[in-house]
Amino acid sequence: MKRRSTTLLSLAALLAAGLTALPAVPAAAAESEQLKNGTFDSTTDPWWVSANVTAGLSGGRLCANVPGGTTNAWDAGIGQNDIALVKGESYRFSFYADTAPDGHKVRAIVGLSAAPYDTYFEVAPQLSVSGNSYAYTFTSPVDTPQGQVAFQLGGSADAWRFCLDDASLIGGVPPEVYKPDTGPRVRVNQVAYLPAGPKNATLVTDKTTKLRWQLNNANGTVAARGWTVPKGIDPSSGQNVHTIDFGSQHRPGQGFTLIADGERSRPFDIGTAAYDKLRLDAAKYYYTQRSGIAIRADLRPGYARPAGHLGTAPTGDGAVPCQPGVCDYTLDVTGGWYDAGDHGKYVVNGGIATWELLSTYERSLHARTGRPAALGDGTLAIPESGNGVPDILDEARWELDFLLKMQVPEGHPLAGMAHHKIHDEKWTGLPLLPSDDPQKRELHPPSTAATLNLAATAAQAARLYRPYDPAFAAKALQAARTAWTAALAHPDLYASANDGTGGGAYADDNVTDEFYWAAAELYLTTGEKAFETYVLNSPVHQADIFGPLGYDWARTAAAARLDLATVPSGLRDRREVRRSIVSGADRYLATLKAHPYGIPYAPDGNLYDWGSNHQILHNAVVIATAYDLTGDGKYRDGAVQSMDYLLGRNALNMSYVTGYGEVNSHNQHARWYAHQLDPKLPSPPAGTLAGGPNSSIQDPFAQGKLQGCKGQFCYIDDIQSWSTNEHTVNWNSALARLASFVADQS
């Protein structure tokens, strides 16, 4: 049945009101309907219906009786297949729907009808008993003859009825132009500037000559005034910008605003409290990432959930087999942290994240401003709080125990090597609690990179846990030695870039940096000559490793270099090592000074990398370490200033840390913090870092909205944008580390 759409109604209303300015109508000939029989006048063909649903015609609609008691949205549904989608073409997807009882949701998708069942567009509107029309525009990221429109109806405890009419997918429509709401043009750190720290802001304006600015207190009185400095076009955003330096203002307070060019910034504080909290929140993130343990409501109100992936095969991690043909044993790999928004657990990424948490703690032992008690026992509200061990060590231990379980046991081929990863056989949809994951779990082949990651982190753990748990320290060191020997015997077992179904590939075919890192940690813990010699002879040791992109899970040389520079040892050329940190920091500081948004990040070709936010943090960590080494305030200020960008001084005018700043990322791609898709689920916890701008926008959602984006604009706070807006353990560790440094500067 053809219903009058709400668009037509409002157009009629406009005409009745005497308004003649009609929206531009695209040439009708270019538009073409892709769905067959969306009006259900005499039949429901060619729509399919899942076996557990009964559907038929009712009042010129297709009505479906949906059973209760299913788990996932895709456990029940109706749809149509064999729809040709054209890459780069925009489509208007529209339908009418009603429901009984009121308030049910439908997950309406356009995707692939065959494995791997990719979703190109999805919405989940809440339906009403009286019925509504819905219309959306998206751009297809692929060419396929196997497109599908589906209405997923599962996941409800109770039975319900869904009725559909006027389903339409029209190709050739003008693309929807996505324009982010960037708010006031004065861009500040929306959280806090340190009283004694640098205070900078960026003004977006067409004006090319200097302008007046003023800083207002919360009560509206003027606290400071000055002139902007015009900077021209900023390549990272394409905007014409000025900078504002109000560093002369030292008095603490809340609710300041900065006014320039007729615009008032979002409010911010001058104070230190936010960083004490951020240090803890960034580290508290890990508890709710834990696998194999129920998350307690008393420790994380709103985040309680059953333990995920306990038990055995096929869906538990208690006795996980390998992928077919890879091994003939099973391993108990329960525990550890989930990597990100998915349920995978990856040794290389878990390893670098563990190193960074451990290093946050280790820095507090050695740095001039370090305060070990700040992350000590009782600070993180975790089950182990009160056991006499610093909480940050307890949290890292949860992952370390898992990493050790990934090592191939004695008596098997490749004994001593570490399996690269363990995850689902196939990708799952969102939302999905870890405890509801129906997929088969599999171990993937051992790799040299994973083995060296294990060696490095277990060796580091051995020195840090020795005062608290000597037996664990000894076990960790033994595992590290075993891994090191195994890696030397199998130096080129690389994880395949094609092994990315059901989990991330984390492929890396250059492991000279991982060898260097493992040798460095083994040396720092044991002081043994053989490891020192390996470090000194490594081609990475003298190399210039501080390039524009920050260190990360694949580029681990900096982990070694930073520790060799800061952890006490008798390393023969330790002075040169320390000097290399300072010269890397000088370069990052020069980048920051030249950047009108004040960041130590200017990637080649302005190509923001996947997870750019943590790379910015990592470059800032190098600057912070130069301060720890030299005590020179310019490095302290550079590191502190880098935080401004993450907390709102950026082209999008948003904080990338959940719960921090007036406008902040809170829809990160996540299966169990999927509040955007299911209001009963929480958003990510406060202190969760979003990956941030990623020029390559690999996910279809971002491709539909951000095509042609420039640098800083390649980000969208939507749960579907897994390439710009995921959260992950190795990014939050960067936040924990820098937040900890900044908190120590108060």
Neighbour-count burial of 61, counting CB atoms closer than 10 A to its CB (0-12 exposed, 13-18 middle, 19+ buried): buried
For ligand 9MR (CB under 6 A), the number of binding residues is: 12
Half-sphere exposure at residue 729, Cβ-oriented, CA atoms within 13 angstroms: 32
Residue 165 known to be catalytic: no
- Paired tokens of 116: 């791997």
Find all residues with CB under 8 Å of 687, minimum gap 6, and list them.
Answer: 278, 280, 281, 282, 283, 284, 285, 657, 658, 659, 660, 732, 735
610 binds ligand 9MR (CB under 6 A): yes
DSSP assignments along 60-93, one per residue: TEEEEEE-S---SGGGSEEEEEEEEE-TT-EEEE
Closer by beta carbon to ligand 9MR, 50 or else 349: 349
Neighbour-count burial of 497, counting CB atoms closer than 10 A to its CB (0-12 exposed, 13-18 middle, 19+ buried): exposed
Residue 717 known to be catalytic: yes
Residue 311 gets which letter from DSSP? S
Residue 36 gets which letter from DSSP? S
Could you give the CA distance from residue 607 to residue 739 in angstroms, rounded to a whole number? 26
For ligand 9MR, which residue of 141, 308, 611, 685 counts as binding (CB under 6 A)?
611
What amino acid occupies position 389?
V
726 binds ligand 9MR (CB under 6 A): yes
Q: Smallest distance, Å, CB 697 to ligand 9MR?
A: 13
Q: What are phi and psi of 239, to 5 degrees?
A: -95, 150
For ligand 9MR, which residue of 202, 364, 566, 728 counts as binding (CB under 6 A)?
728
Q: Do residues 243 and 198 touch, judged by C-beta distance below 8 A?
A: no
Closer by beta carbon to ligand 9MR, 55 or else 353: 353
- Paired tokens of 537: 């002879």
Could you give the CA distance from residue 140 to residue 122 in angstroms, rounded to a whole number? 12
Could you give the CA distance from residue 454 to residue 656 in angstroms, rounded to a whole number? 30
Q: Smallest distance, Å, CB 730 to ligand 9MR?
A: 7
Contact string 484-513 vs ligand 9MR (x = CB under 6 A): --------------------xxx-------
Closer by beta carbon to ligand 9MR, 731 or else 741: 731
Which position among 165, 234, 726, 744 bears the catalytic label?
726
Closer by beta carbon to ligand 9MR, 337 or else 722: 722
What amino acid occupies position 535?
V
733 binds ligand 9MR (CB under 6 A): no
Q: Of 78-97, which residues contact ligand 9MR (CB under 6 A)?
A: none
Q: What are phi and psi of 79, to 5 degrees?
A: -175, 180
Closer by beta carbon to ligand 9MR, 415 or else 505: 505
Q: E strands along 364-471, which residues?
A: 418-419, 421-424, 441-443, 446-447
75 binds ligand 9MR (CB under 6 A): no
Closer by beta carbon to ligand 9MR, 345 or else 578: 345
Q: Smallest distance, Å, CB 340 to ligand 9MR?
A: 3
Closer by beta carbon to ligand 9MR, 405 or else 420: 420
Q: How far apart are the first and last CA of the chain?
A: 67
Contact string 558-597 vs ligand 9MR (x = CB under 6 A): ----------------------------------------
Q: Smallest distance, Å, CB 505 to ligand 9MR?
A: 5
Q: Smallest distance, Å, CB 238 to ligand 9MR?
A: 25
Q: Do residues 522 and 528 touch, judged by C-beta distance below 8 A?
A: yes
Could you give the CA distance from residue 398 to residue 395 in angstroms, rounded to a whole number? 5
Closer by beta carbon to ligand 9MR, 224 or else 505: 505
Could you give the CA distance from residue 255 to residue 276 in angstroms, rounded to a whole number? 18
Q: Are strands 144-152 and 77-85 parallel, antiparallel or unpaired?
A: antiparallel
Closer by beta carbon to ligand 9MR, 148 or else 613: 613
431 binds ligand 9MR (CB under 6 A): no
For ligand 9MR, which residue of 166, 339, 499, 717 counts as binding (CB under 6 A)?
339
Which position among 166, 339, 377, 717 bears the catalytic label?
717
Binding segment toward ligand 9MR, per CB under 6 A, in 145-153, 184-192, 337-345, 456-464: 337-345
Nearest position to ligand 9MR, beta carbon: 504
Binding segment toward ligand 9MR, per CB under 6 A, in 300-308, 519-527, 621-629, 720-728: 720-728
550 binds ligand 9MR (CB under 6 A): no
For ligand 9MR, which residue of 108, 192, 340, 400 counts as binding (CB under 6 A)?
340
342 binds ligand 9MR (CB under 6 A): yes
The residues assigned a catalytic role are 717, 726
Binding residues vs ligand 9MR (CB under 6 A) = 339-340, 342, 344, 504-506, 610-611, 722, 726, 728
